[in-house]
């Protein structure tokens, strides 16, 4: 009889223990496993990229008053033209390495009487050619097969020539210059595919470091040299680079 009582007591205690354990598990469930799903590649390894960027900017001033005309007026026409073909090869998914060539031409023509009783005229022209190596990374926008962000890091060399002619009261002063520049820059952008091969690109130069060496000759007699180092961070939406690219 005592044995039966002990067995009943053990059974009741075991039932209470199992019930308490079940309630504890319900109140403190085990954390769910969370996995990060990697996005699918936007551009696959082994593909080629060929394209080009183009930009054009103008600035015209007619009888432009500085401080209400206190410092004088100015008239000028200025433009900047730039074309840049490029190519790249995708060493990995969404990662490419390539080269870029560029030609840029700036022209400024005008007259002014700022801070002077005698108006003066000026004519400035400069041209640059450059070669750059770059790496480019892509990031798909959501699950889209058409749109992606990219970031391009560039390392390049630029050679430039320029001339500046200023005429004051019939006297002309001319300066000719040659420049050599090393630069590194970061250019983010957006790519939008029209079809499986052709895409439109929009990019903006936002960050750059450069060192420039310039040799100047004034009136074919006086020579001078200067070295300039710059670190730039800018968001100029009027200087967007528009381009077209082919992926194959």
pLDDT tens profile 54-74: 888 888 877 666 555 555 667
pLDDT recorded at residue 115: 59
pLDDT recorded at residue 136: 97
CATH topology of domain 40-247: Porin (2.40.160)
For residue 214, which of 159, 154, 132 has the smallest C-alpha distance?
159
pLDDT recorded at residue 117: 63
Spell out the domain ranges in the chain: 40-247
Q: How far apart are CA 216 and CA 16, in angstroms?
A: 96
Q: Check if the beta carbon of residue 127 is closer than 8 Å to that of residue 105.
A: yes
State which residues of the chain have pLDDT below 70: 1-39, 63-73, 114-118, 236-239
Q: Each residue of 4-53: pLDDT tens digit?
A: 444 444 444 444 455 554 455 545 555 555 455 566 889 999 999 999 88
pTM: 0.72
pLDDT recorded at residue 13: 44
pLDDT recorded at residue 170: 75
pLDDT recorded at residue 225: 92
pLDDT recorded at residue 7: 42
């Amino acid at each position: 009889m005592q044995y039966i009582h002990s067995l009943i007591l053990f059974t009741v205690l075991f039932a209470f223990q199992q019930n308490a354990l079940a309630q504890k598990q319900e109140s403190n469930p085990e954390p769910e496993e969370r996995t990060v799903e990697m996005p699918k590649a936007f551009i696959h390894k082994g593909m080629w990229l060929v394209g080009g960027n183009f930009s054009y900017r103008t600035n015209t001033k007619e009888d432009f008053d500085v401080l209400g005309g206190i410092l004088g007026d100015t008239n000028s026409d200025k433009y900047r033209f730039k074309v840049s073909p490029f190519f790249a090869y995708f060493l990995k998914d969404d990662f490419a390495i390539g080269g870029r060539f560029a030609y840029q031409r700036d022209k400024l023509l005008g007259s002014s009487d700022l801070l002077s009783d005698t108006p003066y005229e000026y004519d400035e022209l400069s041209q640059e050619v450059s070669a750059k190596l770059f790496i480019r990374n892509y990031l798909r926008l959501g699950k889209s097969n058409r749109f992606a962000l990219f970031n391009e890091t560039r390392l390049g060399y630029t050679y430039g020539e320029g001339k500046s002619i200023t005429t004051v009261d019939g006297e002309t002063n001319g300066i000719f210059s040659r420049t050599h520049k090393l630069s590194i820059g970061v250019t983010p952008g957006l790519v939008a595919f029209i079809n499986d091969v052709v895409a439109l690109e929009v990019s903006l130069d936002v960050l750059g470091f450069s060192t420039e060496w310039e040799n100047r000759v004034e009136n074919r007699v006086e020579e001078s040299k200067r070295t300039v180092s710059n670190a730039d961070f800018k968001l100029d939406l009027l200087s967007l680079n528009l381009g077209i690219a082919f992926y194959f």
